[in-house]
Amino acid sequence: MTAGLVWSTEKGEIASGLMDGTATFDGQGRLRELHYPTTGKPIIEKGTPVDTGVDGVIAWGRWIGGQNKVRGANGNGNGVGNGNLATLHYFTMASERTDPTLGRFTSFAATSPTIQSNGKLTSTGTVNSAGGSFTAALTLQNAGTATYRLTVPVPGQTFTLAGVASQTSPSSFAGVSTITSTGTGCRGGCTGSLGNNVSVIGQIAGSQGSHAGVLYGFDSRLGNVSGVIVFKR
């Protein structure tokens, strides 16, 4: 199982990543726990899932509350983002694409965008309001790209993220975006918060590459904005 997670803690730490895990779902396909596949120890637990959905090979949602138990290097100590959660968005997939992926993906669902500041959830957008598209040109040599344009509405304004992401594995990509806003949220600049100014991380889902999940996260004058958008072609 591959999971894409973007989260923040009550300490104000922001973290994200694509990771392998063993997932526990309830009868409605909502993620209840994610565990390390080798040790069985929890990665995330005790959250209340909302904004959830399942479509074919991908599931997604957002948590209210919960805890992150991510470990440090080599499984030692607490990693960055360990602690009580202020926000968490996720997607999961049972399999990944291993062949080249060429084509246009269009969004069909999304979690409610959240804004977190100083470890507190300050604002929540509307479920399925974020969206956009990307065109993938991913190769076996990991030398491909994904060109994307996403819109993220929050109360009072809408952010737009656009860019050309670099391929990071046979089926994933990460991008540094040009981020703009219809309001004052990017006055002075908005920057990616997923590491090295990255604001978008994507993963192609399924052996046929029919679906994809994208994490987004960036810092604005309003606070840290994050969420998940899911796509298909």
Instruction: Encode pLDDT of 45-100 as tens digits.
Output: 999 999 999 998 999 999 999 999 875 443 433 446 688 999 999 999 988 888 99
Q: Residue 8 pLDDT more than 80?
A: yes
Range of the domain at 120: 2-232
Please state, in angstroms and rounded to a whole number, the distance separating the CA atoms of residues 131 and 232.
12
Q: How far is CA 205 from the centre of its chain?
A: 14
Q: Which two tokens stand for residue 22?
A: 């063993």
**79 DSSP 8-state letter:** P
Q: β-strand 83-93 against 58-64: which pairing, if any?
A: antiparallel
Range 206-220 average pLDDT: 96
Domain count, the chain: 1
Cα–Cα distances in angstroms (integers) from residue 7 to residues 43, 50, 62, 116, 192, in the given order: 12, 15, 10, 10, 14
Q: pLDDT, tens digit, for every residue of 148-194?
A: 999 999 999 999 999 999 999 999 999 999 999 999 999 999 999 99
**For residue 9, what is the DSSP state?**
E
Give me the pLDDT at residue 75, please: 40
Question: pTM of the predicted model, to two decimals?
Answer: 0.96
Q: Is 138 helix (H, G, I), strand (E, B) or coil?
A: strand
> Alpha-carbon torsion 36, 19, 83, 226, what sign?
negative
In this structure, the chain runs to a length of 233
- Which strand (E) or helix (H) includes residue 60? strand 58-64
Q: Is the pLDDT of residue 112 over 60?
A: yes
| Other residues' Cβ atoms within 10 Å of the Cβ of residue 39 | 9
User: What is the rounded average pLDDT of the residues 4-14?
Assistant: 95
Give me the percent of the chain exceeding a pLDDT of 70.
95
51, burial (CB in 10 Å: exposed 0-12, middle 13-18, buried 19+) = buried
**Structure confidence at residue 56 (pLDDT):** 83
State the chain's mean pLDDT as an integer.
94
pLDDT at 73: 41
Please determine, for residue 9, whether its predicted confidence score (pLDDT) is greater than 70. yes
